[in-house]
Structure 1
Amino acid sequence: MIDKRPGDAADRLTDSDWFERLARAGHVVSGLLHLLIAYIVLRLAFGDPGSADQSGALSIFASSTGGRLALWVAVVAFVAMALWRIAETIVGPHPSEPRSDDDDGIFDRAKAGALAVVYLAFAWSAGQFAMGEGKSSGQQNAGLSARLMESTAGKAVLVVAGLIIIAVGAYHVYKGVSRSFFDDLRIGDDNQAVKVTGIVGYVAKGVVLAGAGILVVVAAITADPSKATGLDGAVKTVAGWPAGQFLLVLAALGLAAYGVYCFVMARYARM
């Protein structure tokens, strides 16, 4: 019998143990990517070249046959996570492990929908690199920014996009400082290891994202698309500061902490 409502299909999907395992694998892949980005940032701190973003991390996998196979596994995991977030958008957060104090209002559903888009983008990027067609995210961002800067409306779109990225970064910082990330876990906030990795990871990722968003706004105002290259641009801008090396080492440690936290999510996330 075919489900008549999207909510029925979403409920059935989230009741599947095998599908939940696939979705949790998305957290594992995300953790690995953040650890690789942290490694690239650390190398940049000491003068080595590289692209300090998702494309740089994916290119490391794409350099070998085994790595490309791992990328296809990542595609499946990311698609599964995206579908899970779509289910949360339809039926509310944590459909298989709800709590009485859960707020399934429009903000939580919108956040789940936005994360679904993010994971689908991750899956697309991983698939492109698996097929040997992956491109630098920074170069693509700069190219798109250059086209948008050809018109006033395009510049306005860039400013709005930058402000959204800044807001997302600020939300990450808030989530880390307030320790509200424990709301997403099925363990208590008395676990010190999880507390430290969560706080450090969320704050570090938030600061890096906010920096990338600020550069997008600056790029739109100054009509300089080279500044709108995303995470990679933010990291390389910091590298040119007097205390750049020290700050990049801190950023690498913070991103690595977020990567470790992703592994915690894979095991303990409420889904």
Structure 2
Amino acid sequence: MTKITRADVLARAGYAARGAVYALLGWLALGTRGAADNGQNAVFDMVQDMPGGGAVLGLLVAGLVAYGIYKLASALLDLERHGHAPKGLAVRTGLGAGALAYLAMAWAAGKFALGYRHYASQGAHGGADMAGGVLGWPLGWVLVAAVGLAFLAAAAFQAIGAATGGFMKRIAADAPKGTEALGRIGLAARCVVFALVGWSLLRSAWLVRHAEVRDLGGVLAQLRGTQALYLTVAAGLLVFGLFSLICARFRVVPAIDVVDAARARFN
């Protein structure tokens, strides 16, 4: 049990699952275009139809849950020592938001794995529906705007990583040649996606209209009107998937048991 709850084990399983999802999504977007409009759900739908797809989906669910737990532990326990300065707190807040996103992705994959494809597909663009519910709350537009700003901040961090290659500080020295190039390309593509999602949320908050919200699939659908940009981002997402698979083996992660660390922190 101790090994399963170690941060490095959770992270490696998570990076592998993240890599598979992004690589398949990028490949799907490049090959069939319109099918990628459902975002990660399109990937789960495709995997389910493969031989042994149910077992593969089960592995993806386990990996995505592991990644969500790892990111949540990183946010709460500061496993990667980002600290309590404003920049560090911003990074840790982003990690916490990412944890929720990947756990939601695991939930969607789980519905496909259990055979609830129809119900899972209905939630393919659940971001707009969720935003619609929040906008109905008193001052709900403030919360939607805050989430939009968080996505824009995440896009900025992705852009900085793509420009500087700073992420290599957490990659082992014996990683394959070309890892930095893959990371820069992948982060640049994610920067575009996160920026467009964040902007759509801000527009939704300003106009109080949830139909403005775009999730990953919605962004790809939006970009199809500009072929060169669409192909560039789709290829970048595929490359990000490959980079994530490399991270599954070569990312430097502390071998800390997150359960023991949580007990020490909060008891």
TM-score by length of 1: 0.78
Does the CA contact (< 8 Å) of 2:38 and 2:125 recur in 1?
no
For residues 207-244 of structure 1, the C-alpha deviation after alignment (integer angstroms, 9 at most, x for no partner) is 1111111112212323432221312222222223xxx1
Change (3 A) 1:150 1:251: same
Does the CA contact (< 8 Å) of 1:14 and 1:87 recur in 2?
no
**Aligned equivalent of 2:235, options 250, 253, 256:** 253
Q: In structure 2, what residue type is equivalent to 1:250?
A: T
Q: Which residue of 1 aligns with 2:63?
A: 77
Change (3 A) 1:251 1:23: same
Structure 1 position 266 matched with structure 2 position 248: yes
Q: Secondary structure at the match of 1:93?
A: coil
**Aligned equivalent of 1:220, options 195, 205, 218:** 205
Change (3 A) 1:87 1:153: closer
Q: In structure 2, what residue type is equivalent to 1:205?
A: R
Q: Distance in 2 between matches of 1:167 and 1:185?
A: 23
Q: Which residue of 1 aligns with 2:46?
A: 60
Q: Secondary structure at the match of 1:161?
A: helix
Q: In structure 2, what residue type is equivalent to 1:206?
A: C
Q: In structure 1, what residue type is equivalent to 2:214?
A: T
**Aligned equivalent of 1:125, options 103, 108, 122:** 108
Q: Distance in 2 between matches of 1:21 and 1:49?
A: 33
Query: Identity across aligned pairs (percent)?
Result: 23
For residues 163-188 of structure 1, the C-alpha deviation after alignment (integer angstroms, 9 at most, x for no partner) is 11111112111112111111221227
Q: Distance in 2 between matches of 1:188 and 1:224?
A: 49
Q: In structure 2, what residue type is equivalent to 1:25?
A: A
Does the CA contact (< 8 Å) of 1:172 and 1:205 recur in 2?
yes
Residue 130 of structure 1 and its aligned partner are, at CA, apart by 0.9
For residues 63-103 of structure 1, the C-alpha deviation after alignment (integer angstroms, 9 at most, x for no partner) is 35621221111122222333333444455335xxxxxxx54
Q: Distance in 1 between matches of 2:110 and 2:208?
A: 32
Structure with max Cα Rg:
1
Runs of 5+ consecutive residues of structure 2 not aligned to the other structure: 254-267
**Aligned equivalent of 2:150, options 154, 158, 164:** 164
Q: Secondary structure at the match of 2:153?
A: helix
Does the CA contact (< 8 Å) of 2:94 and 2:154 recur in 1?
no
Which deviates further from its counterpart, 19-28 or 256-265?
19-28
TM-score by length of 2: 0.79
Which deviates further from its counterpart, 128-137 or 172-181?
128-137
Runs of 5+ consecutive residues of structure 1 not aligned to the other structure: 1-8, 95-101
Q: Which residue of 2 aligns with 1:200?
A: 185
Bigger relative contact order, structure 1 or 2 (CA pairs below 8 A, ≥6 apart): 2
Q: Distance in 2 between matches of 1:91 and 1:146?
A: 33
Task: Supply the RMSD in Å over aligned alpha carbons.
Answer: 2.8
Q: Distance in 2 between matches of 1:162 and 1:103?
A: 23
Q: Distance in 1 between matches of 2:161 and 2:9?
A: 25
Residue 268 of structure 1 and its aligned partner are, at CA, apart by 0.3
Q: In structure 2, what residue type is equivalent to 1:255?
A: L
Matches of residues 2-81 of structure 1 in structure 2 within 5 Å? Answer: 20-21=8-9, 23-43=11-31, 48-64=34-50, 66-81=52-67
Residue 33 of structure 1 and its aligned partner are, at CA, apart by 0.7
Matches of residues 143-158 of structure 1 in structure 2 within 5 Å? Answer: 143-151=129-137, 153-158=139-144
Change (3 A) 1:58 1:43: same
Does the CA contact (< 8 Å) of 2:39 and 2:218 recur in 1?
no
Count of matched residue positions in the alignment of Structure 1 and Structure 2: 246
